[in-house]
Structure 1
């Protein structure tokens, strides 16, 4: 009810009701309450979609924020989504926003291994540069290196053991980075994204007490095989489910 009430505590909405009013079985009360009940179910199932529709925002873009495992800042499109969430939170300040980061660890490690391989190749082409002297334009050029570039593949082949020389580019890249380093990098990027999201949303006037920016629990993270994303949800204080529920 908090969601569908306006600021003056009134509920104002259109209820599309159809029926033959000449029929003896027709009941305004029955039709209206059936429609209202269906609406309340939809609101309870997806409060973020209801709020997006009521504010003229795009609900399909507010179900989740797609992520790149290697990113530590957000794209302009991702910032647009965060701004839409700010609009919703200012409309309903009593509903905390939950951003739960879901990361496919095996996919993330592969992407990070490829990034490390690209950077290593880039530095081999620019001996005047070091890891600590790279600037934004260097990182942009590193990301532009095509995984199918023959010169890049030849370089990787020269680094891997003989048993991996006929493997895929991503497999070669994975063999060049210790598992411990990939795990550390994955965790660091996850942490950086959470901090960045919290910092940006609070800078837009959202109280930190209205935010829950977290990563899915380790036991779920280790088996998750879906997309890399922030899952978005709105909850009323005290309405969160416990793990048992």
Structure 2
């Protein structure tokens, strides 16, 4: 593995499982020491830390309720006392599916807070330092639902469209920071479609209709993802790692779908 992030520090929110954990592992393998953040029992957090450190670099867990700006600030201060944040990945996210008229107001508030406002707070905190040092990478894990909508997901879609717009503004503001040699400061969104995580296994099983698991996957994806195959968390992580490379210094303000041609329709 090319440890091109040796000496760098990364913070990945929502990284105790799923896509966020895969990203934390990949950044560790690329040489960055990684601050992870997310929910889980003591055993789950220990297991996540072991996976990240086993990938090649030091890791620590930093706790914060991302609905609360003061806790986000406390987490960021603690991480930056450990090391200036060179790579910020906002991956934490929640979802609640219900028709617009039936969405609980508290669910709207929580989804906007965790999926969108938390990214604003982390970016506001770390981007000035990235600009001063001439290198920084912000990767916001949005969703295909930051590019197209679906029924029954009003707060989720609003949060993901919002983070795409927020990222474009930040990319414009920091586009001239640094240089080609230093790597510059870039802000991008990665927009996954269906990703194979344990959370969606029940949906796969529900679509099998007596067939194989692959039949269940194809039936589940048939309506929206033309490739009829899911991405793996590691696929998303590989895109994030490439966007951290110096060669990606002019890739900024982008919202990159990894969606099997979903948004090409």
Which of these two proteins has the greater Rg computed from alpha carbons? 1
RCO greater where, 1 or 2, for CA within 8 Å and sep 6 or more?
1
Bigger fraction of residues in strand: 2
**TM-score range with shorter-chain normalisation?**
0.3 to 0.5
Length-normalised TM-score, structure 1 = 0.34
